[in-house]
Structure 1
Amino acid sequence: MIVDVGGETIQITVLELLSDGDFRELYAECDVGMGGNKVDEAYEAFLTEIFGADVIREFKKNNQEDYKVMRRQFESMKMSLNLHQIYETENVSFRISGSFCDIVKESVKGSIALSKYQNEFVLTCGKAKIKSCVLKRFFEIPLRCIFDNMKAVFAEPQVSGCSTILMVGGFSRSPILQEYIQRQFPDKNIIIPQEADIAVIKGAVIFGHT
């Protein structure tokens, strides 16, 4: 089973290795809109809930480069976290755009104090600290969707004998996703290439030259 988990989609393909070295496709499925970007969207929805849609809209409109930097900062944190950090530690700290802090500094204490996250989120100049229990919720929907898709494919009669999972795609680099899949499918041989994000591109290039 090849599981390609990108930012926007989950693509699952099951191939059978034939005796002559060729492959036969047993199953193919694509689920749009449930990739790693769902974690980012949950984070932005979280900020919007605290500071308001107008503030977030103004920041995105007037500080486009800084908005991209903030997205990259969260992406970097997202791709470095493991299950231990979001299930067994109290807080996670990460960098956040200084210009965003400047925009919300007048209302940051009041906005957070008035929200349900007053004890779960702290924002200072260039740095944020969030409770792990809140951060965990950002991952819950995409992780569950990926698992449900894989479980449904394994339930198909033609792939019942599949024993190996190959994880590729950008979100497959996430230690949280890797550990989650390993826990959910302990009886499967799970392979994750060192450069899972570009494995598909490399494979396409190799295939094109053969």
Structure 2
Amino acid sequence: MSFSPEERTDVTVLEMQSDGSSEVIHTACEWLLGRVRVVKAFHQMLIRIVGRDVMDQCMTNCSDVYDDISLEISIKLRAVDKVQSKKITLKVPVIIMETFEDSGLPIQDAVDQANINGKIIWSHDKMRMDANVFRELCADALDSTRLFVHGVLAHRSCKETDVIIMTGEFSSSPLLQESIKSAFSNMRVIIPPNNEHAALVGAVIFAHARLPFKPQCSSSDPQVRSRGKYPPYRHRE
């Protein structure tokens, strides 16, 4: 089984045939899992500190705020594991602090009033955060991704799955790797080098190798579904 947990998490379950070819036996996808949930959790924490009006104003005045936060979260996801005890530093768009402090209240006072006193220090465009706070932000993303994979493996055609291949950017997170390995300890979990590019590299290698592959169209992709039914004489849905 190969899965890529991004904004849209895709899972493909393959069965190796006796002639060396592979056949897709099950596919599934789910939106808004993985990294996007970590970004959402961090965004909600910022709202808790500075208020929704300030965040809405920042998002309106600077369209890059969300993208900057998302990029910073992606970088930190690669560095934080379940045993790290040191504080981590996140870059936060300075416009958030400046917009909030226009009200006359220092940003650190707002942090202290948000019941996270001592766990976060915010100065200009830097936020020093306890590793446990960051792990809490990741909890929903980890749980939802793990439950989704559980649901796929519960499908009757996937009962004999014994290998999980993790691809995609979020799969680079030590927290997700440890979560999947712990939840599926009876399976072999493979994390390819540069796994964020693994699916693309695999597609290129496969195309050049011209290996036998039985065609299979995914009915789980809403974009594909919108194009109409596949001819039953050409494709097995």
**Given the two structures, how large is their TM-score scaled by the length of structure 1?**
0.86
Q: 1:145 Cα deviation (Å)? A: 1.4
CA separation in 2, counterparts of 1:115 and 1:50?
Answer: 6
Structure 2 letter corresponding to 1:18: Q
Is 2:131 the counterpart of 1:135?
no
Do the aligned residues in 2 keep the contact of 1:2 with 1:166 (CA within 8 Å)? Answer: yes
| Aligned residue number for residue 151 of structure 1 | 150
Q: More displaced, 180-189 or 125-134?
A: 125-134
- The alignment's C-alpha RMSD in Å is 2.1
What is the alpha-carbon distance in structure 2 between the residues aligned to residue 70 and residue 168 of structure 1? 22
One-letter amino acid of the counterpart of residue 5, structure 1: P
Match of 2:89 in 1: 93
In the alignment, is the contact (CA less than 8 A) between 1:34 and 1:145 conserved in 2?
A: yes
Could you say which residue in structure 2 is the equivalent of 1:74?
A: 73
Equivalent in the alignment of 1:25: 24
104-113 or 190-199, which moves further after superposition? 104-113
Identity of aligned residues (%): 23
| Deviation readout 1:62-110 (Å, 9 max, x if unpaired) | 233465334322321222211212xxx2643333334433333443133
Q: Distance in 2 between matches of 1:73 and 1:99?
A: 15
2:120 match? 121
The number of residues matched between the two structures is: 206
Say which structure is richer in helix. 1
1:11-41 CA-to-partner distances (Å, cap 9, x unmatched) read 2221111111111222211111213111011
Relative to the length of structure 2, the TM-score reads 0.77
Counterparts of 1:1-210 in structure 2, within 5 Å, are: 1-6=1-6, 8-65=7-64, 68-85=67-84, 89=85, 91-105=87-101, 106-107=104-105, 108-209=107-208, 210=210
What secondary structure sits across from 2:160 in the alignment?
Answer: coil
Residues 157/63 of structure 1: CA separation in 2 closer, same or farther (3 Å cut): closer
Q: Aligned partners of 1:168 and 1:91: how far apart in 2?
A: 28
